[in-house]
Chain A
């Protein structure tokens, strides 16, 4: 059996950033990748997708965007190119086409079972992605015959959709982006909206994520926020990266002809039932956005930027009217339902007693306490608000690598056996 000190699972931006940290510290490691470098970006994203973070924020340890469009947004081929170039530049010891099927306690650490044979190691870094499995709610069981069901991972652009109406379920980043894109194809689009995070693309002439970066919002730490459970469940913001730097919120979707309805409660006898709570969720999202803008304005004033910026202003409240709470899918001409209800990671290969009753890894800022030497990367608000962005990998891996080095310098690791 081959041995190494650290096995990093996944050669995306997070796993590669950790590889670079380990190389800096001269720690022997391998990066195991089921496909090619940047596999999720290659195979699990739709063609029209762009990053929702501006180019200048696309940075990894030792490398930052050096193109001529710092305020633009990368296409998927550009992201893949950035990650590939990074892997080469840092000479990451990546083993491609090596799928990990199990990680379990082993002698002096862990045993990693892969399609390329087993590895023995002292530490494992889980960097296999936070968005591996699209969440499909139980309501999908009620989809009637003749209506196609699709996840964002399977969506490959509007050409693959049946003619006729489309119901997009979920109004976070993925849902609003798909609703806008599908609407532009001319199809009637209904968007089922639950809890959501409203953000303008530009505020006072600057990108909202540049504001949040400058004001320190993205650097809020997991051990400083009021309620980390809630913070980790905050939906991805209603943002799209487009050359026009356009705002994509419920008002702009309504103006484009998208019909808004409440959260999908269920589908029964071909009739979809929607929550009547949409007006309140929109009020909450507007209030939260305005609270953020208040804080950003306060920061700009304190930092002395007001003279260089347009005056503060507020956006129009979300218009919802009185949306229908029931739609007969057949009568309404809805032929496709797209489930944009979020994603979850796939950690089924991790055979360690590290999961809570909901099947999520218990961790303290990425340190998996129930399995010393195991670390998690890339999860929402892992260590800071920017953890789910590419730019979060730099600071997160710096801190977790420090922890890992201290652990390796200490006593030999003792691993509790997996529960039956």
Chain B
């Protein structure tokens, strides 16, 4: 193990997270969060989604600013390509979740990160969404995430950080386990 003279700083406020874990364990109702997105159809396969408010800690919360997402499909789908496909947005969510987890777990384990990059691929036959083959599912057949991490740690310790990040990742869980989804209208 490398002895570092400066304190490990991955930009994670570890004490804040540990305090939150303790106080929310004592007050589990406040731990119930609700994440939200509001989507408006623009034209064709183009839609516009805004993310701003959410619920948590027993009250209404809001991001410091609203975020806007234009979602569309590429030209080869006959669309106008105003933005990424919804499936790519899913990869964005997975990448962001796992990478945040890597930073937090590394901080918790006292490991200084120098660089972290993740490359994601999601394989899918579009015969499913086109309704051309009933035996092909609509969604991904496989997702691969590859991390390149430069850090003051052994390969086994880095592997352990990545494994722990998956274990504690919301989006990884969402993608690997079934979730009940209800859709209503008007």
Chain A interface residues toward B at CB < 8 A: 262-263, 265-266, 273, 275-277, 280-281, 283-284, 287, 290-291, 322, 357
CA distance A290 to B142 in the complex (A): 28
How many positions in chain B have a CB within 8 Å of any CB in the partner chain?
15
Contact A280 B177 (CB under 8 A): no
Tell me which residues across on chain A come within 8 A of B175, comparing CB atoms: 276
CA distance A329 to B176 in the complex (A): 20
Q: Can you list, as one digit per residue, whether each of B142-179 has a CB less than 8 Å from chain A (1) or not (0)?
A: 10000000000000100110011011000011011110
> Which of B160, B167, B177 is the one whose CB lies under 8 Å from A263?
B177
CA distance A37 to B160 in the complex (A): 45
Tell me which residues across on chain B come within 8 A of A280, comparing CB atoms: 163, 166-167, 172
> Which of B142, B159, B164, B176 is the one whose CB lies under 8 Å from A277?
B176
Do A276 and B160 contact each other (CB < 8 Å), given the known contacts A284-B167, A322-B142, A357-B28? no
Contact B172 A265 (CB under 8 A): no
Q: Which of A263, A273, A287, A290 has the most CB of B within 10 A?
A: A287
A288 to chain B, nearest CB (A): 9
Contact A277 B173 (CB under 8 A): yes
Q: Classify the secondary structure of B's interface with A.
A: helix
> Which of B163, B173, B176, B178 is the one whose CB lies under 8 Å from A283?
B163
Q: Can you list, as one digit per residue, whether each of B28-48 has a CB less than 8 Å from chain A (1) or not (0)?
A: 100000000000000000000
CA distance A263 to B167 in the complex (A): 13
Contact B160 A287 (CB under 8 A): yes
Contact A277 B177 (CB under 8 A): yes
Tell me which residues across on chain A come within 8 A of B28, comparing CB atoms: 357
Chain B interface residues toward A at CB < 8 A: 28, 142, 156, 159-160, 163-164, 166-167, 172-173, 175-178
CA distance A290 to B160 in the complex (A): 11
Which residue of chain A has its CB nearest to the CB of B175? Answer: A276
CA distance A99 to B85 in the complex (A): 64
CA distance A50 to B26 in the complex (A): 41
Which residue of chain A has its CB nearest to the CB of B25? Answer: A229
Contact A290 B178 (CB under 8 A): no
Can you list 15 A-B pairs with a CB-CB distance of less than 8 A? A263-B177, A265-B178, A273-B178, A276-B175, A277-B173, A277-B176, A277-B177, A280-B163, A280-B172, A284-B164, A287-B156, A287-B163, A290-B156, A322-B142, A357-B28
Which residue of chain B has its CB nearest to the CB of A273? Answer: B178
Which residue of chain B has its CB nearest to the CB of A325? Answer: B176
The 6 closest A-B pairs by CB, nearest first: A276-B176, A277-B176, A265-B178, A280-B166, A284-B163, A283-B163
Which residue of chain A has its CB nearest to the CB of B180? Answer: A266
Tell me which residues across on chain B come within 8 A of A266, comparing CB atoms: 178
Do A277 and B178 contact each other (CB < 8 Å), given the known contacts A290-B156, A322-B142? no
Do A275 and B163 contact each other (CB < 8 Å), given the known contacts A290-B156, A357-B28? no
